[in-house]
Amino acid sequence: MPLLFFAGLIFGLTSLAVLGSGGYLAWSWFEGEIVRDANGALQRVREDWRLWSAIVLLGWSFLGRWLVPLLLARADTDPTRAARGSGTWIKGDGGTELYVETLGDAAAPPLILVHGWGLDSTIWYYARRDLAKRYRVIVWDLPGLGRSTVTKSKAVDLSRFAADLKAVVGFAGGRPVVVGHSIGGMTIQTLARDDPAFFDREIAGAVLLNTTYTNPLETMIMSGLVKAMRWPVLEPAMRLAIWLQPLAWLAAWQSYFSGSAHMANRLGFGRYVTRSQLEQTTLLATRNPPGILAKGNLAMFRWDATGALAAIKTPVLVIGGDKDIITRLEASETISTTAPDCRLLVVEGVNHMGFLERADLYNDAIAVFTASVQPPPEAIRLRAGSLEKSS
């Protein structure tokens, strides 16, 4: 999302400044100062404070990631991790190769999860684990992220993402429920906008998590200020990240090791964030190509799906966090008033990454909604009941 890109830029530049200062102090200590002693002989004098300052600054630059999460997040009781299962590749729009994993009982109703920008399908660790007990969960990496590819001749564009989602729906079979976080929710709305007949015919229900209906600059905090910065700052910085991707990636990793990237990503969490959640989100945002991330943000600047759900008959559940600064709660409320058959759930105390912070509430709501629009077969229902009794 653009806000996290901007925050990452600011914290990344700060991290580079710390690294540069540490390097300068180390060099200036080594060089020292040539002075004459009382006997007129020349000697090199080194100031120890420069050495110790350099050690602290350079140490922070490369080891800060071990300390920063301890200061910014809670200890874990249920740590998340970037778990992969066995997957396959399917053809997406324009020749893209989409990486897809399927979990759960093959006879269960399908549930497709669409992750947010800068992440990949491993971010669904809690949802995969909890929802696969009752449903056939399909997760996939958006083009250019994770293991999915994007062809150089094809632009990064939400309409193309929507076409890729159609391919995943076809792979899933049946009438799946689609769940999207952030740009994942935007992708779902784009599909409803671009092909409403397909949406109503092939999709049993849609769940939109912490997302928006238009250019995210319009629905984030300090919207006026950030929109004013779009052309003179944000767009040029993103295009530089595309043109100078190797340097941008090097800077991103340095920011990750210093912990500065963790500080930037902390802005997307509320008070419930744990250390493993902050670490995984930051790691995924760092290891995905900066050029692709910049292209996705630029595509969001030019995106709008206002009223896309107005003509859709498919049931919709919208979940928003009351502390979301990246896609404010007002965006979720607007979406909920647009779709004819829509329910809104507001989760208190969570920010943009609420589906991690309060995975229990989000996953329960998704499961209840999915059961209401696509009840599982009797065998799966009985199995779920036995699981509940044994837990």
pLDDT on residue 35: 87
pLDDT on residue 389: 45
The confidence band for 378, taking pLDDT boundaries of 50, 70 and 90, is low
The 10s digit of each residue's pLDDT in 237-251 is 999 999 999 999 999
**What mean pLDDT is predicted for residues 292-303?**
96
**What mean pLDDT is predicted for residues 344-351?**
98
The confidence band for 387, taking pLDDT boundaries of 50, 70 and 90, is very low
* Domain residue limits, the chain: 2-72, 87-390
The 10s digit of each residue's pLDDT in 28-65 is 999 999 888 778 888 888 999 999 999 999 999 999 99
Distances (CA, A) of 387 to 105, 286, 365: 14, 38, 18
Gap between the Cα atoms of 47 and 372, Å rounded: 71
Percent of the chain clearing pLDDT 90 (strictly above): 85
pLDDT on residue 61: 96
The 10s digit of each residue's pLDDT in 139-157 is 999 999 999 998 876 679 9
Gap between the Cα atoms of 55 and 48, Å rounded: 11
Handedness of CA 332, 337, 339, 343 (dihedral sign): positive
The 10s digit of each residue's pLDDT in 4-35 is 887 888 898 899 999 999 999 999 999 999 88
Please provide the CATH number assigned to the domain covering 87-390: 3.40.50.1820
Identify the CA nearest to 353 among candidates 284, 292, 300: 284
What lies within 8 Å, CB to CB, of 4 at 6+ separation is: 118, 264, 265, 267, 268, 285, 326
Is 382's pLDDT higher than 70?
A: no
The 10s digit of each residue's pLDDT in 314-327 is 999 999 999 999 99
Is 390's pLDDT higher than 90?
A: no
**What mean pLDDT is predicted for residues 250-268?**
95
Gap between the Cα atoms of 142 and 48, Å rounded: 51
The structure tokens 């899933």 sit at 172
The model scores a pTM over 0.85: yes
The 10s digit of each residue's pLDDT in 215-245 is 999 999 999 999 999 999 999 999 999 999 9
* Other beta carbons within 10 Å of 44: 10
Half-sphere exposure at residue 160, Cβ-oriented, CA atoms within 13 angstroms: 23
Is 391's pLDDT higher than 50?
A: no
pLDDT on residue 43: 87
Gap between the Cα atoms of 378 and 384, Å rounded: 10
Identify the CA nearest to 332 among candidates 169, 151, 182: 182
Is 380's pLDDT higher than 70?
A: no
pLDDT on residue 8: 87
**What mean pLDDT is predicted for residues 248-269?**
95
pLDDT on residue 243: 96
Can you say how many angstroms the Cα of residue 57 is from the centroid of all Cα atoms in its chain?
29
- Average pLDDT value over all residues in the chain: 93
pLDDT on residue 106: 93
Percent of the chain clearing pLDDT 70 (strictly above): 95
The confidence band for 97, taking pLDDT boundaries of 50, 70 and 90, is very high
Instruction: Go through 52-72 and write b for each residue having 16 or more CB atoms within 10 A of its CB, e for each that does not.
Output: ebbeebbebbeebbeebbeeb
* Other beta carbons within 10 Å of 370: 25
